[in-house]
Amino acid sequence: MALVTEEVRAKAEIYYGAETCEEKANGLLKEMEMPNGLLPLDNLEECGYDKESGLFWLIRKERIEIFFEGSDRLVSYEVLVTGYIEKGKIKKVSGIKSKEFGFWVPVREVYVHDPEITFKGPAGVSRTLPISAVERTS
């Protein structure tokens, strides 16, 4: 939790418990115009957001993998996912990887440019998909 220092925690909004975290994180994603389903928000233990810097974090008990049928991609979410969020963008992401050609590639940035979303990894590697590829209806 290197980014989530005690100094950051002191000025951030922090929530605990699966139901509360899911509600608050969904609200943040909606406010920042990010698609529903981009991040798995069920079973979170803690979530936090520092409005001043844009830093957010999600903490769950264990790493999970989700297969997004719309993109035909397996995505791994670590116990701690962090990033800096602003309208239509998440930068300096940590804790998310996508399986590409049999290799796990870290996701470092996410940009929404309706009707598409772009995921950027290290060394300029990127993939653009329709937003519908990551959206969930429930």
Are 83 and 90 a contacting pair, CB within 8 Å?
Answer: yes
Q: What is the domain partition of the chain in residue ranges?
A: 6-133
The pLDDT value given to residue 1 = 53
CA distance 89 to 32: 8
CATH domain 6-133 topology: at5g01610, DUF538 DOMAIN (2.30.240)
Q: Measured between alpha carbons, how far apart are the two ends of the chain, in Å?
A: 30
The pLDDT value given to residue 134 = 87
| Pick from 2, 96, 3: nearest CA to 108 | 96
Which pTM does this prediction carry?
0.93
Please give the DSSP secondary-structure letter assigned to residue 3. S
Are 29 and 38 a contacting pair, CB within 8 Å?
Answer: yes
Tens digit of pLDDT per residue, the chain (138 long)? 568 899 999 999 999 999 999 999 999 999 999 998 899 999 999 999 999 999 999 999 999 999 988 888 899 999 999 999 999 999 999 999 999 888 899 999 999 998 999 999 988 889 899 999 888 755
